[in-house]
Amino acid sequence: MELESLKYPIGRFKRPTEFTNEQIDAWIKVIEDFPSALKNEVENLNDAQLDTPYRPGGWTLRQLVHHCADSHINSYTRLKLALTEENPAIKPYKEDLWAELHDSDLPIASSLKILEGLHHRWCILLHSLTERDLEKTFYHPETEKQTTLKTYIALYAWHCTHHLAHITQLKQNQNWV
């Protein structure tokens, strides 16, 4: 399998040019369903399977689960900053280095619990957003771009689906299904 398709099994994120309420609701539903979908895919994997990289040179499934918790904690914080400040500059983080820290070797149960509780709170906020809120922005100093909250919702729905696809693709390739 080609490295690009292993890295991006659903393709790279494409910033939407049009937004409808139905599409935003669908993206929020993806975010809302992610913790249970992730748990369903990983809960019966053994340690050897969890310690398998999803691609050559990539993270293990264990690191990937912990990355989702780390990333989504940061995402939730960015949402709250954008809702309470005028175009705040967000704090980037080195996700590759975070994935190498000792807590990324732990059992995945804690990150699954974090995701369950975090997504519950996150989606309550997402469902409460007004049209005006969806136009609020944050600034990413590394990309030097402003992102609207409606684009951010699309990005995180993609992020959930992207990493879930890493897991399902590896399971299929390894005949673990």
The 10s digit of each residue's pLDDT in 78-121 is 999 999 999 999 999 999 999 999 999 999 999 999 999 999 99
Residue 161 lies in a domain: yes
Number of alpha carbons in the 13 Å side-chain half-sphere of residue 128? 9
Q: Looking at the 3D structure of the chain, how many domains does it have? A: 1
- Does residue 30 form part of some domain? no
At 34, the pLDDT band (50, 70, 90 cuts) reads: very high
How confident is the model at residue 21, as a pLDDT?
97
pLDDT average, residue stretch 121-132: 98
For residue 129, tell me if it sits in a domain: yes
Residue 66 maps to a domain: yes
Residue 129 has φ and ψ, to the nearest 5°, of -65, 135
Distance CA 93, CA 70 (A): 10
Within a domain: residue 32? no
Give yes or no for residue 128 having a pLDDT over 70. Answer: yes
User: Residue 146's beta-bridge partner residues?
Assistant: 139
Q: Which range marks the domain in which residue 50 is found?
A: 37-173
Q: Is residue 1's pLDDT more than 70?
A: no
Say how far apart CA 141 and CA 108 lie, in whole Å.
Answer: 31
What pairs with residue 153 in β-bridges? none
**Domain assignment present for 166:** yes
What would the 3-class secondary structure string for 90-135 be?
A: CCCCCHHHHCCCHHHHCCCHHHHHHHHHHHHHHHHHHHHCCHHHHC
Tokens representing residue 14 in the block: 């494409």
Over 70: is that where the pLDDT of 22 sits? yes
- Mean pLDDT, the chain, integer: 96
* CATH code, 144: 1.20.120.450
**Within a domain: 109:** yes
